[in-house]
Every structure is written in structure tokens, then in C-alpha cells.
Chains A and B, each alone.
Chain A
Amino acid sequence: MTGDHRTLALILFSAFIAVTLAITTWAGRRRHGSPEEFYAGGRLFSPLENGFAIAGDYMSAASFLGVSGLIALFGHDGLLYCVGFLVAWLVVLFLVAELVRNCGRFTLADVVAARMRERPVRIASGAASVTVSVLYLVAQMVGAGSLVALLLDGAGTQARTGMVVAVGALMVVYVAFGGMRATTWIQIVKAVLLLGGAAALTALVVLRFHGDLNALLNTAAEHSGHGGEFLAPGLKYGHTWTTRLDFISLGLALVLGTAGLPHILARFYTVPTARAARRSAVWAIVLIGGFYLMTILLGFGAAAVLGSDAVRASGKAGNTAVPLLALHLGGGAGSTGGTVLFAVVAAVAFATILAVVAGITLASSASVAHDLYASLRRPRGTGRGTRHGEVTVARLAAVGVGAVSIGLALLARDLNVAFLVGLAFAVAASANLPALLYALFWRRFTTRGAVWSVYGGLLPAITLVVLSPVVSGTPESLFPGRDFACFPLDNPGIVSIPLGFLMGWLGTVLSPEAADRARHAETEVRSLTGAGAA
């Protein structure tokens, strides 16, 4: 990459950072201190604003760079990510969004714990939420490191370390000083930038083929080196039964994971009513669906314009496909158009990472302060403690979560980003979703069922990953020199998600106490009508 790229990209980076810090300062000056303000931005966002913020929270750099790269390399098999990421929103819209908005106050654990003995359930659910968030954070920060390596063309370890630390520091500043209000506006700005950037690139790709999408697909198949197979399933996951099972496992994790992501659920608390939560989910589906349709065109466009070999030569995982495509569409390396487009794509990816990590940091600090700290500190049954004290803890927790994630991201520097995201989805689907659905829909669900379902999904998911080829046994593993892998799949979802549901059922059946009928009635009435909603 030439110096021009770098300078322009760095100017755009700085401009985005300046804007976000201005938003943080502005949000921090407004009334603050109450948990409603810090965790939920005062609950006064409109459905349209929240829809954009949800889209901004959800469309990560892994989808923008990673998924389009996978499509450029593997054709149809990359499409699964787009389909799974979108269909998952039907689970959120139908089963979760309105009911969670009606029943909870700030976190996922609020909903699960409402019917149960609060302490054990809150601790379990809070711990699972923090685990999911940290995994997802690490994935995004590793992505930030790769981005800077791409941008500074083989920049040394030092530059990547610097980038990870800078992203971590910025997200802590946004969250600790701006709370949900700043985070939301940063996500809205980012969603507009990302959708605008993707739309511009897609328009250029389509124009290059004179609007003939059939020609685009045929050229992509031709230039991929695989011919017609490129557009058919099996290129990445079709070789053995193990990879096919991995495909199914990933498919399950993607579609069921979204509804268990704490930072996505937290977004529904920022609107005044369940009706507004539904309308923001509808907006989010429209925006996210449009974005993934563009991602598909960009992925096939990269294969058609650049050829899969050129994409692979620049980065084995394909993460560089879209930036390279931008460079080429603008007129090639050295041209003004190419420089500008490349810098814009890099800046959009950077903005994407910052907005997503801010959302996750906020959700995990809420879990630490509102669920873990509040339950562990006070003995059973005493009052809630001071409300302002909790916000202070949340601000400190943001710093702590940031520090832990920076450390882990530096350790996991060489792990594949898409894998880390898939793993976060698998853990969310195994540990969070079963307990949430049981609590909302199953009359007999008990405290023991809730605790067993959370740990019964969380522990197998983590254990299976540790025992998988991702951690040991192959040259690409985290510890290539060791071999204690005995679980063949990369993604644990196909085993751990059913286990989460099974343990929730088993714990309930084996419970010494019956479910509290009155509290179930309360949850059911509240979830469907909004009576007594915060």
C-alpha cells in the first residue's frame, strides 16, 4: 500500500474518532447518573433510531470483511453466514424482542430471574452474558488488528498491538463517559456510514456489469477457478462428513445465537414500549437484510472482478477482498479514485469495529454491575443498594472488561475472526437462549431448571471448543505443538445447544420445588401486555 492510502485512511480514522468523542462529550454532559440513563439511554429513542442502532450493533466487521471474503473464496458456502445472520432475526422478532422489553429492565438476566430465586439465576445468567460478550469483543479486536496490518502493509507486531490497545481504550471511554446514549448515537452514525459505503461499492460493481447480475455470477464462477461448482454448495464444507456436520452446527448457532446476544437484547430497552421495540426490530431486519444482499453482491463481485486467486494471495482468510475490490473499482493502485475508495472502506471498517465493541462493552458492564455485583455483594433479600453506586460499578466494569479483552485479543491475535464470532454465537445459543425461552414460555420452569440450563449450555460449549481442532492438534490451532483434540468439529453448537435445552428440562423435572404460579402469571401477563413495564 502506498503512503497516500495510509495518510488518507488515517485522516478519515481521526475524523471518525473526533466525531465519536464529540458525541460522547455531548452525551456525557446531559443528565446522567441514573441506571435508566446509563444502561438504556433514558428509554426515549424512536424505533427508527433504534433500528439503525441495532443494525449498527449487529453488522460487525466480520460480516463486512469476513463474509464477503468467504463468498469471494468459496461462493455459495459463504452465503450461509448471510442467510443465518438474517433469518435469526425472525427468532428475535417473534419470540424475544417485545417480551423482553416488557419483562426486563436492563439485562437478559432480569427476564430469567423474574420468576425465580433471584440470586443463583442472576449469577448464572450474568456469567454467561459476560462470557459471550468477551468472546465477541475479542473477535472484533482481533479484526481491528488485522485491519491495521492490511492498511499498513505488513506492519509489525507493534502496530497491531497499538491498534488493539487503541480500540480498547476508545471503547472504554465511550462507554464509561457516554453510557448508552453515546453508544447508540455512535452506532447510528456507523450504520449510516457502513450502509452508504456498501451501497456505493455495490452500485459500482453492478454498473461494471451493466446491471446484468447473471453475467456477474457467471464471471465470478469463471474467475473463481471452480466453474459452476462455485455457485453450488460444498466448496468449503462438502469434503467430509466432519465438515458437513460443522456446516450444520454453524447453521444452528447462527440462527439461534442472535436472540441470546446480550448487547442485542439490551438495545430493546432503549425504546419506550414493546410496540416501539417491535418496530425497531422491523427496521433492523430491513436494514440488515439489505446490507447482507449487498454483501453477497460484493463477495461475488470480488470473485468476478479480481478472481479468487488474487483475493487468496492477499490474505488466506479472504478478509481483504472488499478493500481490494474498492481499490480496483476506483481505478487501481496509484489512482486517486482507488486511493479514496480504499481509504473510505478501511475507515468504514474501523468505524464498524468501534461501534460494535462499544455496544458489547456496555452490555457486559451492565451484566457485571447489575447482575453479578448486585447479587454477589448483597446478602439474599436485602435492598437494591444505591442506584448511583451501581452505575459507578458499571463504569468501572467497562474499564475491567476492556482490559481483559485487550489482553485476550493480544493472545488470540492469530485466530480466525469468523470462527471467534461463530463461537460467540454458539455460546449465546447454548447458554442464554434456552433459559430465556423457557422462562418466557414454560409454566413449570424452576430455579434449578434455569441454573442447569445456563451452565448446561455454557460449560459444554466452552469444553468442546477447548477439545476441538481449533485449540490443538493442527498447524492452524491456537497451540499447534500440542494435541489434546478429541472433538472433531470447530463449532460446538450442534451438541451444546440441545444440551442447554435438555439440562433446562431435566433441572425443572428434578426440582424439589414447583414453579411459583403467581409469578409465572405475572411474567406471562407482563410479557404480552406490557403491564408494569419499566
Chain B
Amino acid sequence: MDKQDDRATAEPGDVRAGTHTAAPLSPPPPRSVTHGEVYLTVQRSAAFQEVRRRYRHFVVPATAVFLAWYLAYVLGATLVPGLMAHRVAGALNVAMLAGLGQFASTFLLTWAYARHARLRRDAVALDIRWRTQDLTGGNIR
């Protein structure tokens, strides 16, 4: 069922993705290639490099940001409790606001990641998956 979903989203495709997926995973390997060579070829292909680049360009900075923001919260609570106790509005102080801010940023990053993956990665990745499985004879280990 889900596979049909995936195919359906793969067809309209992403314009930028389309330019890459149009390029075959060249050169077409001879019939006798081994399993490992197929994966090495796919790994070198422009389409795969693009998927990996897009994944890393989102995930690396996003991970750095949320880890730094979380560590700032934990370290702030331990190293500068005076600042964190500063009242901002009503009963809310900096520490409580930062804690609630962690919830907000988590929800926001979750949404951004899911959107990025759906629009920028899924179609190209799925295309590579089918091509790779054709090359390896669709074998599932």
C-alpha cells in the first residue's frame, strides 16, 4: 500500500530532481558485475551524490543547531542560574521560557525535516532504489 504511495509521489517528481534522475547511473555495468560493484557505481552516480548532499545539507546544520541550543539550556541552568531565574512575564522566567522554547523548536524542526525530505529527497531516492534493485536483480540480501 505504502509502496503505491511512494510511486505516486515519485511520478510528478521535483523539477530539480528530474534533471538528475534523467541521467542514467552510468556507465551501464556489464552483466557479470558483482553486487559490490553495483553499489560502488551507484554511490558515484550524480543522482546519488545529489541525494546525499541534500540530506547532509539539511541534517548537519539542523543537528548542530538543536544540540547547541539544548546544551545551552542545560549549561545555562547549571552555570548561570541567576540569569535563568530572571523574571520575564508573570510567573515565567528565562529558564521556563527556554524549556518551553525547546518544545517549540523540536516541533518546528520536525516539521521542517519532514517537509524537506518529502519535497527534496523522496522522489530521487526512490528512483535510485528501483534502478539499483534492477541492477542487483532486486535481491534482498
* A519 & B140 in contact (Cβ 8 Å cutoff): no
Residues of B within 8 A of A265 (CB): none
| A234 at the B interface (CB under 8 A) | yes
Q: Write the A38-81 contact mask toward B (1 if CB under 8 angstroms, else 0).
A: 00000000100000000000000000000000000000110110
The answer to whether residues A521 and B40 also contact, given A247-B74, A530-B125 and a CB cut-off of 8 A, is: yes
Task: Identify A518's interface contact among B37, B93, B99, B132, CB under 8 A.
Answer: B37
User: Which candidate, A276-284, A360-368, A449-457, is the interface stretch facing chain B?
Assistant: A276-284
* A518 & B78 in contact (Cβ 8 Å cutoff): no
Q: Write the A260-284 contact mask toward B (1 if CB under 8 angstroms, else 0).
A: 0000000000011101101100100
The answer to whether residues A90 and B106 also contact, given A247-B74, A248-B75, A279-B114 and a CB cut-off of 8 A, is: yes
| A470 at the B interface (CB under 8 A) | no
B2 CB, min distance to chain A CBs, angstroms: 5
* B77 & A531 in contact (Cβ 8 Å cutoff): no
Inter-chain CB contacts under 8 Å: number: 179
* B125 & A285 in contact (Cβ 8 Å cutoff): no
Residues of A within 8 A of B70 (CB): 83-84, 87, 251, 255
| B119 at the A interface (CB under 8 A) | no
Residues of A within 8 A of B1 (CB): 272
A284 to B125: give the CA distance in the assembly, Å.
Answer: 24
Q: Which residue of B lies closest to A279 (CB)?
A: B114
Task: Identify A521's interface contact among B36, B59, B95, CB under 8 A.
Answer: B36
A247 to B71: give the CA distance in the assembly, Å.
Answer: 11
The answer to whether residues A521 and B39 also contact, given A79-B99, A80-B74, A247-B78 and a CB cut-off of 8 A, is: yes
| A442 at the B interface (CB under 8 A) | no
B25 CB, min distance to chain A CBs, angstroms: 10
* A248 & B6 in contact (Cβ 8 Å cutoff): no
| B42 at the A interface (CB under 8 A) | yes
Q: Write the B86-105 contact mask toward A (1 if CB under 8 angstroms, else 0).
A: 01001111011001001100
Q: Write the A490-534 contact mask toward B (1 if CB under 8 angstroms, else 0).
A: 000000000000000000000000000111011011101111111
* B78 & A272 in contact (Cβ 8 Å cutoff): no
A430 to B128: give the CA distance in the assembly, Å.
Answer: 34
Residues of B within 8 A of A87 (CB): 66, 70, 102, 106
The interface size bin for chain A is: 35 or more
* B91 & A218 in contact (Cβ 8 Å cutoff): yes
* A529 & B43 in contact (Cβ 8 Å cutoff): no
Residues of A within 8 A of B48 (CB): 525, 528-529
The answer to whether residues A532 and B139 also contact, given A87-B106, A518-B40 and a CB cut-off of 8 A, is: yes
A214 to B90: give the CA distance in the assembly, Å.
Answer: 6
* B42 & A525 in contact (Cβ 8 Å cutoff): yes
User: Which candidate, A225-233, A313-321, A415-423, is the interface stretch facing chain B?
Assistant: A225-233
Residues of B within 8 A of A273 (CB): 2-3, 6
A191 to B35: give the CA distance in the assembly, Å.
Answer: 43
A489 CB, min distance to chain B CBs, angstroms: 13
| B46 at the A interface (CB under 8 A) | no
B61 CB, min distance to chain A CBs, angstroms: 11
The interface size bin for chain B is: 35 or more
Interface centre among A76, A95, A534 (most CB of B within 10 A): A76
A297 CB, min distance to chain B CBs, angstroms: 11
* A95 & B63 in contact (Cβ 8 Å cutoff): yes
* A530 & B129 in contact (Cβ 8 Å cutoff): yes
A413 to B102: give the CA distance in the assembly, Å.
Answer: 34
* B114 & A231 in contact (Cβ 8 Å cutoff): no
Residues of B within 8 A of A534 (CB): 140-141
* A231 & B93 in contact (Cβ 8 Å cutoff): yes
Chain B 24-76 residues near chain A, CB threshold 8 A: 35-37, 39-40, 42-43, 48, 51-52, 55, 59, 62-63, 66-67, 70-71, 73-76
Chain A 224-247 residues near chain B, CB threshold 8 A: 228-229, 231-234, 237-238, 244, 247
Residues of B within 8 A of A80 (CB): 74, 77
| A293 at the B interface (CB under 8 A) | yes
* B129 & A94 in contact (Cβ 8 Å cutoff): no
Chain A 73-106 residues near chain B, CB threshold 8 A: 76-77, 79-80, 82-84, 86-87, 89-91, 93-95, 98, 105
| B81 at the A interface (CB under 8 A) | yes
A76 to B92: give the CA distance in the assembly, Å.
Answer: 11
A93 to B108: give the CA distance in the assembly, Å.
Answer: 13
The answer to whether residues A90 and B85 also contact, given A217-B91, A524-B43 and a CB cut-off of 8 A, is: no
Q: Which residue of A lies closest to B134 (CB)?
A: A531
Chain A 156-190 residues near chain B, CB threshold 8 A: none
Q: Which residue of A lies closest to B102 (CB)?
A: A83
* A285 & B110 in contact (Cβ 8 Å cutoff): yes
B88 CB, min distance to chain A CBs, angstroms: 11
* B102 & A86 in contact (Cβ 8 Å cutoff): yes
A residues contacting B by CB (< 8 A) are: 46, 76-77, 79-80, 82-84, 86-87, 89-91, 93-95, 98, 105, 214, 217-218, 221, 228-229, 231-234, 237-238, 244, 247-248, 251-252, 255, 271-273, 275-276, 278-279, 282, 285-286, 289, 292-293, 517-519, 521-522, 524-526, 528-534
9 tightest Cβ-Cβ pairs between the two chains A and B = A518-B36, A232-B85, A217-B91, A233-B77, A531-B132, A251-B74, A521-B43, A214-B90, A522-B39
21 contacts between A and B (CB under 8 A): A46-B2, A83-B99, A83-B102, A90-B109, A217-B91, A228-B87, A228-B93, A231-B85, A233-B76, A238-B81, A272-B3, A282-B114, A521-B43, A522-B35, A522-B36, A528-B48, A528-B52, A530-B125, A530-B129, A531-B42, A533-B140
